[in-house]
Structure formats: structure tokens, C-alpha cells
A = this chain, B = another copy of it.
Amino acid sequence: MTDNTFGKLLNVTSFGESHGLGIGCIIDGVPPKLPLSERLIQPYLDRRRPGTSKFVTQRKEDDKVEILSGVFEGKTTGTPISLLIRNKDQRSKDYGEIANQFRPGHADYTYQMKYGHRDYRGGGRSSARETAIRVAAGAIADMFLKHALGNSYQVRGAVIQIGPHAINRENMKWSERHNNPFFCPDAAMAKQWESYLDGVRKAGSSAGAILEITADGIPVGLGQPVYGKLDSELAAAMMSINAVKGVEIGDGFDLSAIDGSLASDEMRAGKSLETPTFLSNHAGGILGGISSGQQIVVRIAIKPTSSILSSRKSINRDNKNVDVITKGRHDPCVGIRGVPVAEAMMSLVLADLLMRHKAQCGFGDL
């Protein structure tokens, strides 16, 4: 992961700004002969699309992706796949005021100081709009993994907390995610979030969230110790998503507080050495940086949207004090639309590591 390229073998290089001509990426290293078309990618994008409920930004983008290369007669050719999404609904005039002042919590100040010149419209490159293209790239990784690992493979994400309101894990049903606009797996909590977020929205404020992303059907062996560990790659991937401020694997921070005798996951023999029974999964499916064959479990903390309607103290480019009110159209809780993005990053990490594993360990007994 360096600068604008993510991944080592299956790698994604992205481009684009919030209010520029569009966003896109080149995905290199995709295996050949994978069925692929715009039609297959679109459903992934639709899950992240803005404007789908009152709890996300009202910007209208159809997020139609165009495949510019790397696919021939409906299948990948092994050459780079370029994806392009043209921006449609840029209302840059909303941003005239921020050309010369820095919105607190945003990247306005740091981009200005780092580069000396920035596309301030809608946050430019620092906007979460860039994550749409991650979802498109992640779709390809997901489809590759489905073909390579079979039906038991599955990546799923959910919002498990919004503001101070966490789901009740006993009520957790993955299928419930599709029945509410929050990717919430707890039907009762979804109701509660609705009224909570209505309040937040009306107050001109915003809320944070915690997301959980899991992967099933991952074979033992993925992860390249010691610096390309599966948990390390996941942490980098998740922390690269806008507004994410924390990542934990398995029981994460809670593990710090419990006794060693309770912390590790005991094993019992299964049908084969590849399929033992683990009596718990505190480690989140990763031991020594390598997948154990258990479910991979990651949780991420997302801060409240920094763009809020109440006035905030800041400075401008002339180094004068100013008060900033962030207009524009914003998600009251960016965490919600973060779900498909985090799923995409999970898929991209796993696909890349599957290929790296294959490269080194795929030669059998030498």
C-alpha cells in the first residue's frame, strides 16, 4: 500500500476528486478468464450509492461504472482493468467559501500545507467519493474469491453501533441487514437508530459508528509474516477508509483485559488437519498473521461526519480566525455507507494474499 496504489499482486491504483470529471482505477493482476462486465459490478456499487435514503447524502449520482480495458468477450484477459465513473451531480458552488478556509476535522488544512495547492471543491481527493471506486474494485476481488474458494466463501459487513447505541448481539441476524437503510443486523436497533439519526440530522449534527466485517470460507494459510500479516494488511486497508480511527481483530481491545487462560482459542481434532474445531474465536481467525480457517472478524470505528451545520472555529489561508459552517450535502453518519467500502477492502486484501500465498506455497513438495 503506497500512496494511491493498494495491494501487491492484485493491486488497485485509484484516481479522482469529488468534483472533478470522475473517479476511477486500474486493477492489475486479476487472473484471466474471470467472467466480468459492468452488469456484474453494478450491484456492489448500488449498495453504496448516495441518495438512497434520508440518512445518507442527497447528492444524486447513478455511479454507473464503465470498463475501459482488460475484459474481452465477457471475460478478463489478465491485462489491467480500468474502471471509470463519471461524476454527475457536482454542486461545486456549495464549496466556494472553503477555498480559503479550513473545515475542522477535514483534510483542508493538511492538504493545503502538504501540497500548497488543492482542489478544495467537496474536499477534492480527500472526499469519501473516492471509495465508490474501491467498491467497484472490491467487486472484482469478491468475484475472483468466489470462483477460487467456492460457495463457503462470503464477506459480510454490518453496522453494529451508531452513536452510543450498540446492537444487542443476541438479536443479530445477518439477513436483517437488507431490511433497513443502516445495514443493521438487529431489527429492533434499526428502529432505534432511525429516530436517533432523525434527531441528529435535525440538530445539524452527525454521528459516528462501529462496523463489523467478517469473512467465511477462508482457508488456513493466508497472510505473509512478518510485515505482510493478514491482520496488518487488514488494518492498513481499513484505516485507509475515510473517517476510520480504530481497527480491531477478533476480540480486539477487550482481549487486553482478560486472563491469559481465557484468551487463546482451544482446538479439537476435526475430519482432517485442515478442518479442526476451534472452541472459540477470540483471535478473529488470525494466528501469527496467518488465517486459521476460522471466520475472520474485523471491527472498525468511524468518527462522526466532520461536515456539520453548526458553526465551528477555524482559520483561513491568511491565518485569520474564522467561523465555518459546512454547507453542501452530507451523510449524517458516514459509517452507514462505509459498509460496502469495508467489505470491498476485506475482499481486496484476501484476494491479494491468496495470490501471494499461491505464488510462494503453490509449488507442492519440492
Residues of B within 8 A of A209 (CB): 256
> Shortest distance in angstroms between A337's beta carbon and chain B's nearest beta carbon?
15
- Closest partner residue, chain B, to A5 (CB atom): B227
| Distance A123 CA – B213 CA, assembled complex (angstroms) | 30
Q: Once the chains are docked, how many angstroms separate the CA of A213 from the CA of B108?
A: 26
User: Which of A41-49, A64-72, A183-191 binds B?
Assistant: A64-72
Q: Which residue from chain B places its CB closest to the CB of A276 in the assembled complex?
A: B315
Which of A62-80 touch B at CB < 8 Å? 66, 68-70, 72-73, 75-80
Q: Quick one: copies of this chain in the complex?
A: 4
* Chain B residues whose CB sits within 8 angstroms of the CB of A267 once the complex forms: 102, 104, 109, 313-315
B32–A263 touching, CB < 8 Å = no
Flag if A82 contacts B16 (CB, 8 Å): yes
Q: Are B288 and A206 in contact (CB under 8 A)?
A: no
If A233-B236, A260-B305, A261-B310 touch, whether A114 touches B357 (CB-CB below 8 Å) is: yes
Q: Cβ of A360 and Cβ of B31 under 8 Å apart?
A: yes
Size category of the A interface is 35 or more
Closest to A308 in B: B260
- Closest CB-CB distance, A199 to chain B, in whole Å? 10
Q: Is A4 in contact with B226, judged by CB distance below 8 angstroms?
A: yes
Q: Is B163 within 8 A of A259, CB to CB?
A: yes
Stretch at the interface among A50-58, A173-181, A243-251: A243-251
Q: Assuming A125-B225, A208-B255, A229-B239, what are 6 further A-B pairs, CB within 8 angstroms?
A: A24-B68, A32-B117, A77-B115, A84-B84, A110-B220, A247-B247
What are 5 A-B pairs with beta-carbon distances under 8 A? A1-B1, A15-B68, A33-B365, A232-B236, A247-B247
